Amino acid sequence: MQSEVLTPAKTEEVLDEGSGHGGPPGGGDFGGGDSRPWSVPARAYRTGMWMALVGITMLFAAFTSAMVVRQGISNDWAHTTLPRVLWLNTAILLASSATLELSKRVLATNDFRRFTAWLDVTAVLGLAFIAGQLLAWKELRGRGVYLATNPSSSFFYLLTAAHGVHLVGGITALFYLVTRARVGASRQIGTLLPIDGGRPVGASLEGQVVPGLRTPVEVTAIYWHFMDGLWIYILILMMTRL
Amino acid sequence: MADMHVAAVHAHAAPSGFFRRYIFSLDHKVIGIQYWLLGLLAVLIGMALSLLVRFHLVWPDAQIPLLHLLSPTGGKGDQMQPEYYLSLLTLHGTLMIFFVLTTVPQSGFGNFALPIQIGAEDMAFPRLNMLSFWTTFVGMVVLLSTFFISDGPPLAGWTAYPPLSAIGPATGPGEGLGQTLWIVSIAIFCVGSLLGSLNFIATTLDLRARGLSLMRLPLTCWAWFITAVLMLLSFAVLFAAGVLLLLDRVGGTSFFIPAGLVVSDQLVNHAGGSPLLWQHLFWFFGHPEVYVAILPGMGITSHIISTFSRKPIFGYKAMIYAMCSIGFLGFMVWGHHMFVSGMSPYSGFAFSVLTMAIAVPSAIKTFNWIGTMIGGKLRLVTPMLFAIGFVSLFVTGGLSGIFLGQPALDLTLHDSYFVIAHFHMVMGVAAIFGMFAGTYFWFPKATGRMMNETLGKVHFWLTFVGAYGIFMPMHYLGLEGHPRRYSTLTGVEFLNTPHLMHLHEFMTVSAFITAAAQLLFLYNLAWSWFKGPEAGENPWEATTLEWTVPSPPPFDNFAGRHAVVYRYPYEFSVPGAEKDYIMQDAVEEAKKKK
């Protein structure tokens, strides 16, 4: 049974065609004489995610510019030595990106067990990263370096916390994916489980237990890798500036 | 989260329960109306606050009945205390900027009309859409809750400049919990706006009907799209600034608080921060925010002027490029809010030149609106009147911007009534006129009933003349040196001259008359909603897709039909055509031409 489970959702592939098919002049993507129900294309989710990442980029750009200005205008900036556990955390986070990528790959090969296993590993690595960050905070606290001790430590806590909150969002998404995959698999029936909430995805999903999982996995992966890259950026920023 | 998939199986049927239908609705039309109603509540409160403020300016010693009920301390003996004046001003600004000007033109009208205009059944992410609305709602509840705490609302203005906003209760009533709640409210609002904007962008890019290329989009959709991009880029920065300010207040950090600050004879225990840093972050958001408020109005105005001139919009592409360049330049000019902050003259010059550059796309838009009307068969119905009013106010307000955009002139005009006149005209009242235009225009689509034309026209003229009556004299007051934010001006000799005080009285009376005229609008709205004549599918003989569906539209907009677009959005008075308008999805004529 399980080999059938993870056949990539056909509906999404159909939807991905986008504006490719003929029709009246101009762009646009939907409609036309076909009787297919209206639906939200998978790429809308990717667009939405990329836009969310643009917003997050602006957030951290604002923090960065505040940091550069705050450091430049005053003479009260004291160096904050980064806790060494950050390097371990970095390795853990990079590894989590790799495991998520593995999970994405096995999704295509229909190996349900390995798919959820890699997702689990990714989520655990994510949690380990958060735990590691808390250890870093604990180390600073041990040194007597708190949020308000110095502008430099203020930015350390601010940047790590802001990144951590976003990563927790990613971990939540991973748990959601795992749960959804397991619930879908346990039903072992071809019900329609579209992802958009509100509109049906399509009627051609019979025989698939976890239809429409490809897009959420893909979108979560975009987010997760971005958080990875964002952390590297923050790390470099802190190494060069704090 | 899992339940949403189960819910989604019940495809096209509209939800039947009251709560799912009207309160926690996923339907973009209902959410749009919810935003609109939230904005109506905000604008009524904001207007009431402005009336209190205007009354106090002219009759500072007069008692305002029941004011002590609003605030036992701020309205002691029914007289407005100076600090309370500032609190009311702060709440007026915050409500109007965030919960009216940002909420209604974009989230209200955009949610209602964008999906139908592009031939979609809903926004790309309906649940996110619902979440955006309820997030915004919570933001407003938090803001209004400041009226009910012991020391009242904050008094640092809608711009919340530190150090006043950063230190705490020592700086005045409302600067304790009130200011903290203000920051929390705005941060919540930022989140709602960000979620909303990414939904708008994904919807516009990926959900358009077949045949609806970008260069066939109604200008309203273009305006909402560009506005969404501006919101996405700017609100994240405001959120960041809000986090830093909150940390300064509750976390003991010093991002914005400088060293050596003495408040009430007490040395403030912070050092090294920069109030200017807040100004940069705030105005990097604040200036694009101005365009967030006005761009949807521009889109609605373009749409309505073309429709009721029975002519294609003059320079469709120029209108799009003008909006894009306004949006782009909007991110380059934040420094013109800070000319008097001691910035380098070179920076001032750069910001000034870029500011002046915005006059070019603005003028293009204005000429195109006028060009559309020239030679048109004008139908001066209420939405058209408000659209023309929008153009008038936009020009009047824009012209004073040319003065303020020059550092040398801004040195004297800054923080005077001239500035108040400028931004109320160009972004406040003009955007409100855009909202009125949109309301009169889409009301038939939303409710299936027409609004009363006579009441609408009376409402327009009273509001139009009233708005000029309130804000035109402010230019003169500003040139005479009247400063902003002062609760009483009677003690200042050079300002306390009869002719200036009479001007103030005139403005206050105008404000009360204009406010009273809004009762006509509310009455018209309520009456028409239930008793207005049936509107039919396309009462305005407009061309875009929302007028191809019944009024009000069914839950899924097109009742399972797939809209296909064959035409440009403003095909009015096409030579040889049967009627003076051709719908965007009209296929027969397109085939005939081929």
Distance CA B583, CA B568 (A): 9
**Looking at residues A1-20, what average pLDDT do you find?**
35
Size of interface A-B (CB pairs under 8 A): 226
Is residue A15 within 8 Å of A41, Cβ to Cβ? yes
Tokens linked to B10 = 């019940």
Q: What is the mean pLDDT of chain A?
A: 80
List the beta strands (DSSP E) in chain A. Answer: none
How far apart are alpha carbons B194 and B228 in whole angstroms? 8
Cβ distance of A51 and B201 shorter than 8 Å: yes
- Domains of chain B, start order: 30-273 (1.20.210.10), 294-532 (1.20.210.10)
Predicted pLDDT at A1:
34
B4:A65 CB<8 A: no
Task: Kindly determine whether residue A51 and residue B198, on different chains, have CB atoms separated by under 8 Å.
Answer: yes
What is the CATH number assigned to the segment(s) A2-6+39-241? 1.20.120.80
By DSSP bridging, strand B266-267 and strand B262-263 are antiparallel
Query: Contact at 8 Å (CB) between B352 and B405?
Result: yes
- C-alpha distances (whole Å) from B573 to each of A206, B358, B564 are 51, 33, 22
Contact in structure between B303 and B220 (CB atoms under 8 Å): yes
- pLDDT value at residue A181: 82
Q: Return the closest-CA partner of residue A210 out of A6, A46, A3.
A: A6
**Using CB atoms, which residue from B199, B202, B210 is nearest to A23?**
B210
The DSSP letter of residue B169 is G
Cβ-based neighbour number of residue B518 at 10 Å: 18
- Count Cβ atoms within 10 A of the Cβ of residue B214 and give its class: 0-12 exposed, 13-18 middle, 19 or more buried: middle
- CB B546, CB B109: distance < 8 Å: no
**pLDDT tens digit sequence for B314-339:** 999 999 999 999 999 999 999 999 99
pLDDT of residue B19: 84
Q: Is A198 on the interface with B (CB under 8 A)?
A: yes
B209 DSSP β-pair partners: A30
Please report residues of A whose CB lies closer than 8 A to that of B166.
Answer: none
Residues of A in contact with B8 (CB under 8 A): 192-194, 196-201
Q: What is the pLDDT of residues A32-79, one digit of tens each?
A: 445 567 788 999 999 999 999 999 999 999 999 999 999 998 888 999
- A202 in B contact zone (CB under 8 Å): no
Q: What angle do CA B309, B313, B292 make, to 5 degrees?
A: 110
What is the Cα–Cα distance from A47 to B420, expressed in whole angstroms? 39
**Beta-carbon contacts of residue A122 (< 8 Å; ≥ 6 apart):** A96, A99, A100, A103, A174, A224
Residue A28 near chain B (CB below 8 Å): yes
Residue B235, pLDDT score: 97
What pLDDT sits at residue A209?
Answer: 37
Instruction: Kindly determine whether residue B281 and residue A40, on different chains, have CB atoms separated by under 8 Å.
Output: no
Q: Is A190 on the interface with B (CB under 8 A)?
A: no
pLDDT of residue A134: 97
As averages over each run of 10 residues, the pLDDT of chain B (594 residues) reads 36 72 92 98 98 94 90 90 95 97 97 96 96 98 95 94 94 93 98 97 96 96 98 97 97 94 90 94 96 97 98 97 97 95 94 96 97 96 98 96 94 95 96 98 97 98 98 95 87 82 94 97 97 95 96 91 93 92 81 51
- Whether A54 contacts chain B with CB within 8 A: yes
- Give the closest of A30, A40, A59 to B562, CB-based: A30
Q: Residue type for B455, please? A: L
* CA–CA min distance B199, chain A (Å): 6
Distance from CA of A97 to the nearest CA of B (A): 24
Q: Residue A33: closest CA among chain B residues belongs to which residue?
A: B562
Cβ contact A38–B197 (<8 Å): no
pLDDT of residue B591: 54
- Cβ distance B9 to A45 less than 8 Å, yes or no, reads no
Secondary structure letter of residue B489 according to DSSP: -
Flag whether residue A95 sits within 8 Å of chain B, measured between CB atoms: no
Name the pTM for this structure: 0.91
Collapsing DSSP states into helix, strand and coil, what is residue A103?
A: helix
| Residue A186 pLDDT level (bands cut at 50, 70, 90) | low
Cβ of residue A34 closer than 8 Å to a chain B Cβ: yes
B557 by DSSP, 3-state: which? coil
Q: Are B313 and B305 spatial neighbours (Cβ–Cβ below 8 Å)?
A: yes
Q: Which residues in A lie closer than 8 A to residue B198 (C-beta atoms)?
A: 48, 51-52, 55
Beta-carbon separation of A198 and B122 below 8 A = yes
CB atoms within 10 A of CB A73: 16
**Which pLDDT value is given to residue A190?**
42
What pLDDT score was predicted for residue A111? 76
Contact B8 A180 (CB under 8 A): no
Q: Kindly tell me the burial class for residue B220, based on how many C-beta atoms sit within 10 Å of its own C-beta (0-12, 13-18, 19 or more).
A: buried
A51 at interface of B, judged by CB pairs closer than 8 A: yes
CA-nearest residue of chain A to B565? Answer: A24
What ipTM does the predicted assembly reach? 0.93
Report the residue from B12, B199, B211 with minimal CB separation from A25: B211
What tokens appear for B489 in the block?
Answer: 């001006």
B37 SS3 class = helix
**A27 is written with which tokens?**
């762009």
- Looking at residue A12, its pLDDT comes to 35
> Residue B267: what are its φ and ψ, rounded to 5°?
-75, 130
Tell me what pLDDT residue A211 has: 62
> Which tens digits make up the pLDDT trace of A108-147?
777 778 888 999 999 999 999 999 999 999 999 999 999 9
The residue among A21, A40, A49 with the most chain B CBs within 10 A of its CB, best to mutate, is: A40
For residue B562, give the nearest of A38, A43, A62 by CB distance.
A38
Buried/exposed B296-327: b ≥16 CB within 10 Å, e otherwise:
bbbbbbbbbbbbbbbbbbbbbebbbebbebbb
Interface of A with B in 107-166 (CB under 8 A): 147-148, 151, 154, 158, 162
The DSSP-derived string for B236-303 is HHHHHHHHHHHIIIII---SSPPTT-EETTEE-S--S--HHHHHHHHHHHHHHHHHHHHHHHHHHHHH
* Closest CB to B564 among A23, A59, A199: A23
Is A194 part of the contact surface with chain B (CB cutoff 8 Å)?
yes
Rounded CA Rg of chain B:
24
CA distance B24 to chain A (A): 13
Crossing angle between the packed helical segments A85-108 and A112-142, to the nearest 10 degrees: 170
CA distance B127 to B196: 11
* Residue A206 in this model has a pLDDT that exceeds 90: no
pLDDT of residue A242: 84
Q: Provide the shortest C-alpha distance from residue B146 to chain A (in Å).
A: 27
- Name the minimum distance, in Å, from the CA of B566 to any CA of chain A: 6
Residue numbers in B near A65 (CB within 8 A): 280-281
Q: Which of B2, B201, B214 lies at the smallest CB-CB distance from A179?
A: B2
Distance CA(A240)–CA(A183), nearest Å, equals: 46
Strands (E), A134-220: none
Comparing CB atoms, the residue among B210, B232, B253 nearest residue A147 is: B253
